[in-house]
Structure 1
Amino acid sequence: MILLQNSILRLEYNPATDILQVRYPDLQRYHLSEIRHSLQIMVETIRNYDVRKLMLDARTTSIEIEEEENRQLTLELAGMLSKTRLTKVARVQPSDPEKESRAQRNIEAARKAGILNYEVGTFTTPEEALIWLKA
């Protein structure tokens, strides 16, 4: 069932598997405050529905912000997610190796900051991600 759909995010939840599927938003500087607000809504939805598993699909995400802004956004999101009862987050990686490399550096920064209290897995397809989340 679709819990939220706006110009930035679409939250699709399957109560049978307790998996929330989200297409990670395009990161554009002029929409950054709206993106942050939508990510806060996503976290509130995770909290309200007591979601335990999240799939973030970043295959088509465009990144038009500086690397430091991107890292800060990742750390903010990781911190907000750590205050929920999530146990697993599956990322479907972008096909661009540079974008994926940047994402992995950001995840490592969140790990070093000690704010990841859930498992994070990275996959090339949504099907692989869903198999891992259901296991």
Structure 2
Amino acid sequence: MVLDYDAATDILYATCPDMKQEEMLHIYAAFAVMVKTLKEKNIPYLILDTSSSQLDMHQEDYNTILALLSTDLAVTGLQKLARLVSPDEKREGIVRQFLKELDAHQSLPYVVESFTSKEAAVTWLKEIK
């Protein structure tokens, strides 16, 4: 996972690692570093780029990682998360369903939106509501 912080916009840009079954612990550790960075620097905006990462794990395990990440992000001060979507429609369907179920069961303190371009994501993150 590569992290890049832009202090001018207060946006942390993170590239999602490949999601491989045999790498689950490493994946969670990488997300933990991202969460720690968000928390320590009190960063309100995150772009999570999943556009080029591969998914090769059981759906239940993928959902577990998404659930843990969602819970961990909830205590960081994050306000907006912009996802750069994967071209894998099956994966995007899983994520959409996960977010729908998550929204029905708990209220997250941050907003999640999906985008196909970094420029659109940055524009949304910089909008003041």
Unaligned runs of 5+ in 1: 1-8
Q: 1:78-134: per-residue Cα shift (whole Å, max 9, x none)?
A: 000001101000001111211111111122232223152101111111111111011
Q: Equivalent residue for 2:70? A: 78
1:79/1:115 contact within 8 Å kept? no
The answer to whether residue 91 in structure 2 is matched with residue 99 in structure 1 is yes
Unaligned runs of 5+ in 2: none
Give 1:27-38 correspondences, 5 Å limit: 27-38=19-30
Runs of 4+ in 1 over 6 A off after TM superposition: none
Which of the residues 4, 8, 12 maps onto 2:4? Answer: 12
The answer to whether residue 116 in structure 2 is matched with residue 124 in structure 1 is yes
Query: TM-score, normalized by length of structure 2?
Result: 0.94
Identity, in percent, stands at 28
Letter in 2 for 1:71: N
Letter in 2 for 1:121: E
Instruction: Determine the C-alpha separation between the residues in 2 that align with 1:130 and 1:101.
Output: 23
SS in 2 for 1:84: coil
1:78/1:115 contact within 8 Å kept? no
Instruction: Determine the C-alpha separation between the residues in 2 that align with 1:79 and 1:109.
Output: 14
Q: Equivalent residue for 1:110? A: 102
Letter in 2 for 1:88: K
How many aligned residue pairs are there? 127
SS in 1 for 2:19: coil
1:19/1:55 contact within 8 Å kept? yes
Letter in 1 for 2:120: E
Q: Equivalent residue for 1:48? A: 40
Q: Equivalent residue for 1:39? A: 31
User: How large is the RMSD of aligned CA atoms in angstroms?
Assistant: 1.0
Query: TM-score, normalized by length of structure 1?
Result: 0.90
